[in-house]
Amino acid sequence: MNTLGQLKLSLMRDGIYVPPDLRQRPEIARGCYLHGNEEEIVIALGEDFFVKTHTKSSSLGNPKIQLKDDGVWIDTGQKQTEAAVVPLPEFIRKRQDGKGPASRNVLLDGYCLNVFLRKVRKVKLNMVAEDILSVIRAAFEEAAADLVQINMDYCPEDDRGFGSLAPLIGLIKKHFSSFISFRGFPPRNRRDIDKIYAAGVDLLNYPLEGFGHPKQMEKILPAKEILEGLKYAVDIFPQGAVSTELVFGSGSMDLAKEKIDLLSGKGILPLLKLPGRTGRAEFDFGKIAETARHLAQAAQRERLNLKWLYPACQYVTPLDAAFFTEGPVSARLAVKPVYQSKIGKRAFEGFAALRRRLRVKNISDSYESAGL
């Protein structure tokens, strides 16, 4: 069975050819942009199902874009699939000169605006708060994002650098009606996770895999410690708001299923990072589809809340696993993310704020009773 997930993986691996006569067409040109030394393009293969790929200079053996019946189609040589080129938001296009920090540290993934931060001095980050707020404001004004994710590089300090982020998160909450996701590393003291939630973070992601130097990272911060941080966070954050990342190809399929079951059973949502431009011999869609099916079944079995998830270019999650296991006609998101519904978003915001106030009060009361 041909699925949109299979097409997505093929495009991630092989890229796509854009004929010269189509490059100046508005529906194509608005989506092409330079990323480093390569030209990239984001394509919607279905409603809320995106792929980011690179363009190729030759049509030989590569999928290509066609315009037909006033629509965009992808021709793989065996099948044609209707699609849509996602326009690059102006706020990102204007910051593509490579000179400012925003051009190197801001990325849009589906509805999620990612800001990548690291500590460069004792208390300073690589981007100042004013620049970060400016980017977020531009993204929201253009209706390009519904969620802000702060990605923090590893920091050897006990709190993993979160102390420098807390004021920024407060400013974001003050100026914007937005959920905030934090992707980073668990603090040495588990009770600091309470402070992360109290500061205004709504979603938490501590990756277990996918590091550039996994052996070195295991020595610095063992996977066991990351898992303990995730387990602690599940008791602090709303159900479904704690996630982690696993990588395809980091072990056998049976081992991947065991990891999914272990995490799901503890209330932690596993996100599976898709293979990118790997060699053709390493590409096995059958295994990826089976793992995606197991992921969806585990989430359903454990009754995990999927409303906090969002469609992403680089991951398969319980939210969009059907695109890898079902045909194009029947595949759809498991639930509608809260970010896409104004009424639902407003209700969740009110609930999240009330829950946070009650949680902080309970923690304060317990600290007082313990004499802390």
**pLDDT 10s digits, 292-312:** 999 999 999 999 999 999 989
Counts of helices then strands in the chain (DSSP H, E): 13, 15
pLDDT of residue 340: 61
pLDDT band at 346 (very low <50, low <70, confident <90, very high): very low
What gap in Å lies between CA 211 and CA 3, rounded to an integer?
A: 29
Q: Is the pLDDT of residue 123 over 80?
A: no
Q: Is the pLDDT of residue 99 over 90?
A: no
pLDDT of residue 355: 54
Task: Report the range of poorest mean pLDDT among 87-96, 154-163, 361-370.
Answer: 361-370
Determine the length of the chain. 372
Structure tokens at 160: 């993993």
What gap in Å lies between CA 266 and CA 316, rounded to an integer?
A: 19
What gap in Å lies between CA 58 and CA 62, rounded to an integer?
A: 7
The two most distant CA atoms of the chain are separated, in Å, by 73
pLDDT in tens, 179-210: 999 999 999 999 999 999 999 999 999 999 98
pLDDT band at 367 (very low <50, low <70, confident <90, very high): very low
Q: Give the start-end residues of each E strand in 206-364.
A: 242-247, 269-273, 315-316
Q: Is the pLDDT of residue 276 over 80?
A: no
CA dihedral 241, 245, 251, 257 (to 10 degrees): 20
pLDDT of residue 352: 52
